[in-house]
């Protein structure tokens, strides 16, 4: 087995920590993330490490629990993106010609629209929930996956082993399943990690705009927004969840980009 | 926090500051004693008036507000934020004292004749509009007729039609209004938007564009208006009340949020911001140049349901919610304990206030038991969570309390700008709601609780209550009216038309040099009386 690059190692270490936070949130978090209290906008203290928010909820506990939502939304969105984007990319790349032309036009239209704007439009139609948010972000990132897969398919379909398979009379479906797909997976996985980070980032933006996960769920983007009302007084209310978003996005980006660089 | 169109629209305007006309007739000492008496009547702090130096003339006041301005035409205006500006450009026919009693405005005096079926207004003379045309009986007739025009779409038409039969010019300074039936609350409508007098000549000149070219008789004229940014009104040198106004100009600055407003205030860009929550004031309190003044009373907060549709048509469910809501705790968290919890919708200190209401003190065990006995445990409810911070926080707290008594409540986020329209349309059936107080009980009571009330979006209907409401609105004797309103309010609290929560606490922040501010029960500041020390 190859040695992991330092970047990959850092990424994976952070991923383990973040995942542990999500998995063990009920054990680590000192308070319920949704229990309000009359200690409103409390300063950071021994009881509330990062202080309390505008409804007296413990900010540290909410950030820990928020890891779950962020990872859920990020991973689910990336899966949706692969499920939608990969088949489109495979078909476009393999059949080329008119099919490719039409699909690429559609993909380009979606890529041309800023992701956040597209997400705003879809969220407005679907309504807000964790599931809808994942689907929305999946749709938004799917075109990138399709583009990437298509390009990879172009390369793979010209290789000798594909040509050999075709010579022996193998059908398109069989070739795609047996040869093309396995050989495009690495790119897909790299993009998967990057899409997780994109989805987490965009979902935080949507929540900041009030279109993310419905309250009272502990959602980082929403926490940044609520905290911004009290930024001069309690900077931690906004900066801490903002830092959590940054760290998580950074982690997945590190992993994704290291996979791309690896040979 | 743009309030919904409709909600908050009707807060009538008790005017707490003496008009200059009265000031002229009094020396300073008399004035102060009168003012103190007024303050005692309203239970307000006396510090507001402890100002010895005469008002400084000149200077520009910079007001910060979260703007949703649409029009400056008082006949069309619906937005609540528009009124604080309209009140500087226009005068009203009738003005109000802090106990909601009436005092002269553009009408010096009035009489009811023919058993209350005819209202005669005696107008101020020598008053001119900003365009030089004179204010007279013809102008009043035009203002009322235009509001009543079925082809016009004045926002006040529904208030006035059915009440006013015709308007007649008796002479240049006298107007007689024939009513369909006796309706004393008409005077308090004239103390609000329906009484703002606009120039007929200007309306003819500008046509559809009148909303951008308001012409009134008020102490200020419209200067420059950059939509979405600033609106400036400048001093009217010809103003009919001597010595007024004190300021040269007032600029209304659009701010995205209160926190930004307070920051701009700290560096001296703004002089005044209203509608601060107790949490907002924590920021302002850190700065020595800013003083924070409590408003007189607050908005009425409630949970509103669709009273006639399942499961909200079940009195047991409503009762369970009423006992299950920890209102004291909501007060602690939302308003730092400075709000006032109430079983009704009328704050203390008004002539129709009452304590004789059904009492729903917090009792979660009882609430749980009621649900269980009625087989309602686990009922799924969707509670709207409007995006505006105050209402969303309130929804989150209600969500927590109601789930704790065994209901299955889900929060449904909705943009602040849409929630009221959706509630009226019946798409939202359970939502936090808030209203401002009006100068006459008929305002809010008929509006919200009569079966055919203009804003009855709960679909509350009780024939007995209807009968009392229509009986009370035509009475001239205040004691007789009070007796009926007591019965009405008790019945409504027993029927739980709304789940009443209480009255919020709001604050205004002012820079230290800003004077002349008086808290108003309708939460609309009267900027015409402001001045800046040393300006």
Residue A19 belongs to a domain with what CATH number? 1.10.3720.10
Q: How many domains does the structure of chain B reveal? A: 3
pLDDT at site B418: 81
Search chain A and give the residue with CA nearest B394: A55
Half-sphere exposure (CA, 13 Å, Cβ side) for B480? Answer: 8
Whether the CB-CB separation of B525 and B273 falls below 8 Å is answered with no
Q: How far apart are CA A131 and CA A139, in angstroms?
A: 12
**Is A263's pLDDT higher than 80?**
no
**Is B40's pLDDT higher than 90?**
no
Report if residue B15 sits inside a domain.
no
pLDDT at site B52: 56
Report if residue B397 sits inside a domain.
yes
Q: How many domains does the structure of chain A reveal? A: 1
pLDDT, one tens digit per residue, over B320-345 is 999 999 999 999 999 989 899 999 99
Residue with tokens 């226009």: B90
Q: B267 and B195 share a domain? A: no
Q: How confident is the model at residue B389 (pLDDT cuts 50, 70, 90)?
A: confident
Report if residue A1 sits inside a domain.
no
Residues of A in contact with B329 (CB under 8 A): 38
What mean pLDDT do residues B431-452 have?
Answer: 89
Q: How confident is the model at residue B38 (pLDDT cuts 50, 70, 90)?
A: very low
Q: Could you give the C-alpha distances from A185 to A93, A145, A249, B247, in angstroms and in order?
A: 14, 11, 22, 72
Q: How far apart are CA B449 and CA B464, in angstroms?
A: 11
Report if residue B8 sits inside a domain.
no
pLDDT at site B288: 86
What mean pLDDT do residues A94-113 have?
Answer: 89
CB contact under 8 A, A214 and B397: no
Chain A closest-CA separation from residue B193 CA (Å): 33
CB contact under 8 A, A215 and B257: no
Q: How far apart are CA B230 and CA B251, in angstroms?
A: 7
Q: How far apart are CA B373 and CA B376, in angstroms?
A: 8
Q: Is B139 left (phi over 0), alpha (psi -120 to 50) or beta?
A: alpha
**Is B101's pLDDT higher than 80?**
no
Residues of A in contact with B392 (CB under 8 A): 215
pLDDT at site B7: 38
Q: B362 and B390 share a domain? A: yes
Q: How confident is the model at residue B47 (pLDDT cuts 50, 70, 90)?
A: very low
pLDDT at site B53: 67
- B338 near A CB under 8 A: no
Collapse the DSSP code of B77 into the 3-class scheme (helix H, G, I; strand E, B; otherwise coil) and give the result.
coil
pLDDT at site B466: 96
**Is A2's pLDDT higher than 80?**
no
What mean pLDDT do residues B110-121 have?
Answer: 93
pLDDT at site B129: 97
Report if residue B272 sits inside a domain.
yes
What mean pLDDT do residues A112-129 have?
Answer: 84
Report if residue B25 sits inside a domain.
yes
Q: How far apart are CA B79 and CA B77, in angstroms?
A: 6
**Is A219's pLDDT higher than 50?**
yes
Nearest to A216 among B263, B282, B399 (CB): B399
What mean pLDDT do residues B116-141 have?
Answer: 96
Please name which of B130, B107, B153 lies closest in space to residue B214, comparing C-alpha atoms.
Answer: B130
Point out which residues pair with B174 in neighbouring strands. B122, B171
Report if residue A44 sits inside a domain.
no
Question: Is the model more confident about B236 or about B8?
Answer: B236
Q: B136 and B253 share a domain? A: no
Please name which of B252, B238, B246 lies closest in space to residue B529, comparing C-alpha atoms.
Answer: B246
Q: B321 and B375 share a domain? A: yes
Report if residue B5 sits inside a domain.
no
Q: B130 and B59 share a domain? A: no
**Is B37's pLDDT higher than 50?**
no
Nearest to B392 among A215, A230, A233 (CB): A215
Which of B42-51, B97-106, B505-514 is the least confident region?
Answer: B42-51
pLDDT, one tens digit per residue, over B395-423 is 999 999 999 999 999 999 887 778 888 99
Q: How far apart are CA B402 and CA B404, in angstroms?
A: 5
Percentage of residues of chain A with pLDDT beyond 90:
49
- B427 near A CB under 8 A: no
Task: Please report, to the nearest 10 degrees, the dihedral formed by the alpha carbons of residues B73, B75, B77, B78 taken in order.
Answer: 180
pLDDT at site B12: 32
Q: How confident is the model at residue B3 (pLDDT cuts 50, 70, 90)?
A: very low
Q: B95 and B243 share a domain? A: no
Q: Could you give the C-alpha distances from B383 to B306, B401, B467, in angstroms and in order?
A: 12, 12, 32
pLDDT at site A211: 78
Report if residue A240 sits inside a domain.
yes
- Supply the range of the domain harboring residue A118: 6-26+61-261
Report if residue B424 sits inside a domain.
yes
pLDDT at site B133: 96
Q: B252 and B314 share a domain? A: no
Please name which of A209, A63, A185, A66 lies closest in space to residue A136, comparing C-alpha atoms.
Answer: A209
CA B117-B142-B164 angle, 5° bins: 20
Chain B closest-CA separation from residue A214 CA (Å): 6
Q: How confident is the model at residue A1 (pLDDT cuts 50, 70, 90)?
A: very low
Search chain A and give the residue with CA nearest B266: A232
pLDDT at site A262: 58
Query: What are the phi and psi torsion angles at B463 (to 5°)?
Result: -55, -35
Query: What are the phi and psi torsion angles at A138 (to 5°)?
Result: -65, -45
- Over chain B, what is the mean pLDDT? 86
**Is B160's pLDDT higher than 70?**
yes
Q: How confident is the model at residue B258 (pLDDT cuts 50, 70, 90)?
A: confident
Report if residue A16 sits inside a domain.
yes
Q: Chain centroid to CA A27: how far?
A: 25
Nearest to B282 among A55, A228, A233 (CB): A233
pLDDT at site B201: 96
pLDDT at site A254: 92
Q: B177 and B161 share a domain? A: yes
Please count the residue pairs, one from chain A and one from chain B, whose beta carbons lie less than 8 angstroms apart.
65
In our burial notation (b when 16+ CB lie closer than 10 A, e otherwise), range B346-368 reads: bbebbebbbeebbebebebebbb
pLDDT at site B50: 43
pLDDT at site A124: 80
Residues of B in contact with A38 (CB under 8 A): 329, 332-333
Question: Is the model more confident about B35 or about B480?
Answer: B480
pLDDT at site B21: 33
Q: B271 and B306 share a domain? A: no
Question: Is the model more confident about A114 or about B312?
Answer: B312
- Supply the range of the domain harboring residue B271: 51-66+219-297+506-535
Whether the CB-CB separation of A53 and A59 falls below 8 Å is answered with yes
Q: How many C-beta neighbours within 10 Å does residue B19 have?
A: 16
Report if residue A41 sits inside a domain.
no
Chain B closest-CA separation from residue A218 CA (Å): 12
What mean pLDDT do residues A20-32 have?
Answer: 93
Report if residue B6 sits inside a domain.
no
Mutate one of A132, A233, A234, A235 to test the B interface: name it (highest B CB count within 10 A): A233
Point out which residues pair with B509 in neighbouring strands. B273, B292
Nearest to A55 among B263, B333, B385 (CB): B333
Which of B19-33, B260-274, B507-521 is the least confident region?
Answer: B19-33
Question: Is the model more confident about B166 or about B534?
Answer: B166
Which of A33-37, A190-194, B27-31 is the least confident region?
Answer: B27-31
Residue with tokens 């209600």: B398
**Is B148's pLDDT higher than 80?**
yes
Q: B436 and B493 share a domain? A: yes
Mutate one of B333, B384, B395 to test the A interface: name it (highest A CB count within 10 A): B333
Question: Is the model more confident about B64 or about B162?
Answer: B64
Q: B27 and B41 share a domain? A: yes
- Over chain A, what is the mean pLDDT? 89
pTM of this prediction? 0.79
Report if residue A55 sits inside a domain.
no
Percentage of residues of chain A with pLDDT beyond 70:
98
Report if residue A33 sits inside a domain.
no
Chain A closest-CA separation from residue B375 CA (Å): 27
Report if residue A152 sits inside a domain.
yes
Chain A closest-CA separation from residue B145 CA (Å): 43
Q: B244 and B373 share a domain? A: no
Q: How far apart are CA A88 and CA B213, in angstroms?
A: 57
């Amino acid at each position: 087995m190859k040695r992991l690059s330092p970047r990959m190692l850092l990424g994976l270490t952070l991923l383990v920590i973040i995942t542990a936070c999500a998995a063990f949130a009920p054990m680590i978090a000192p308070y319920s993330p949704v229990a309000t209290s009359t200690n409103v906008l409390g300063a950071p203290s021994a009881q509330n490490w990062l202080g309390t928010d505008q409804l007296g909820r413990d900010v540290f506990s909410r950030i820990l629990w928020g890891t779950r939502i962020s990872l859920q939304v990020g991973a689910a969105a990336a899966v949706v993106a692969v499920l939608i984007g990969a088949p489109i990319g495979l078909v476009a790349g393999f059949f080329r010609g008119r099919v490719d032309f039409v699909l690429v036009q559609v993909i380009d239209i979606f890529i041309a629209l800023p992701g956040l704007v597209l997400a705003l439009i879809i969220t407005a139609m679907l309504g807000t929930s964790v599931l809808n948010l994942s689907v929305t972000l999946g749709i938004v990132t799917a075109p990138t996956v399709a583009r990437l897969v298509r390009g990879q398919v172009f390369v793979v379909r010209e290789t000798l082993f594909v040509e050999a398979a075709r010579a022996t009379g193998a059908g398109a479906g069989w070739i795609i399943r047996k040869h093309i797909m396995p050989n495009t997976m690495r790119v897909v996985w790299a993009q998967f990690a990057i899409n997780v980070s994109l989805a987490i980032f965009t979902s935080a933006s949507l929540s900041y705009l009030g279109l993310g996960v419905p309250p009272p769920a502990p959602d980082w983007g929403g926490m940044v927004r609520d905290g911004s009302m009290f930024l001069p007084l309690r900077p931690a209310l906004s900066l801490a969840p903002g830092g959590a978003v940054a760290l998580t996005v950074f982690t997945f980006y590190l992993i994704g980009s290291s996979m791309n660089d690896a040979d | 926090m743009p309030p919904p169109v409709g909600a908050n629209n009707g807060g009538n305007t008790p005017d707490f500051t003496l008009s200059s006309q009265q000031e002229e007739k009094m020396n300073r000492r008399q004035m102060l004693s009168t003012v103190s008496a007024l303050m005692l009547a309203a239970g307000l702090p006396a510090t507001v008036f402890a100002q010895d130096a005469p008002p400084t003339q000149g200077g520009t006041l910079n007001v910060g507000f979260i703007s949703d301005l649409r029009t400056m035409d008082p006949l069309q205006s619906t937005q609540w934020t528009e009124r604080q500006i309209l009140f500087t450009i226009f005068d009203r026919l009738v003005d109000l004292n802090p106990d909601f009693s009436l005092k002269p405005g553009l009408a010096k005096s009035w009489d009811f004749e023919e058993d209350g079926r005819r209202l005669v207004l005696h107008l101020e003379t020598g008053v001119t509009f900003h365009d030089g045309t004179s204010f007279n009986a013809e102008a009043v007739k035009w203002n009322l007729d235009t509001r009543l025009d079925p082809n016009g779409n004045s926002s006040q038409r529904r208030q006035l039609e059915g009440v006013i039969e015709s308007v007649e010019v008796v002479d240049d300074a006298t107007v007689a209004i024939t009513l369909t039936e006796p309706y004393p609350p008409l005077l308090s409508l004239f103390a609000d938007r329906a009484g703002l007098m606009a120039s007929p000549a200007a309306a003819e000149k500008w046509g559809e564009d009148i909303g951008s070219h308001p012409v009134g008789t008020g102490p200020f004229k419209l200067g420059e208006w950059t939509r979405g940014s600033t609106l400036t009104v400048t001093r009217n040198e010809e103003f009919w009340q001597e010595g007024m106004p004190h300021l040269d100009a007032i600029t209304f600055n659009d701010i995205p949020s209160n926190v930004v407003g307070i920051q701009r205030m700290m560096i001296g860009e703004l002089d005044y911001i209203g509608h601060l929550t107790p949490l907002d004031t924590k920021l302002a309190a850190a700065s020595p140049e800013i003083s924070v003044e409590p408003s007189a009373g607050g908005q009425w907060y409630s949970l509103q349901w669709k009273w006639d549709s399942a499961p909200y048509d079940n009195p047991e469910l409503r009762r369970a919610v009423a006992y299950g809501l920890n209102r004291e705790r909501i007060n602690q968290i939302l308003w730092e304990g400075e709000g006032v919890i109430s079983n009704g919708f009328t704050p203390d200190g008004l002539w129709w206030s009452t304590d004789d209401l059904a009492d729903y003190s917090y009792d979660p065990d009882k609430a749980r038991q009621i649900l269980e006995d009625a087989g309602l445990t686990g009922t799924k409810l969707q509670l709207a969570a409007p995006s505006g911070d105050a209402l969303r926080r309130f929804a989150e707290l209600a969500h927590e309390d109601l789930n704790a008594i065994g209901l299955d409540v889900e929060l449904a986020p909705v943009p602040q700008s849409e929630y009221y329209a959706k509630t009226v349309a019946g798409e939202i059936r359970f939502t936090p709601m808030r209203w401002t107080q009006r100068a006459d009980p008929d305002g809010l009571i008929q509006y919200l609780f009569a079966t055919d009330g203009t804003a009855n979006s709960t679909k509350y209907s009780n024939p007995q209550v209807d009968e009392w409401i229509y009986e009370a609105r035509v009475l001239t004797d205040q004691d007789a009216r009070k007796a009926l309103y007591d019965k009405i309010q008790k019945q409504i609290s027993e029927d739980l038309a709304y789940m009443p929560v209480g009255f919020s606490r709001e604050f205004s922040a002012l820079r230290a040099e800003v004077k002349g501010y008086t808290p108003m029960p309708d939460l609309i500041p009267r900027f015409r009386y402001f001045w800046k020390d040393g300006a």
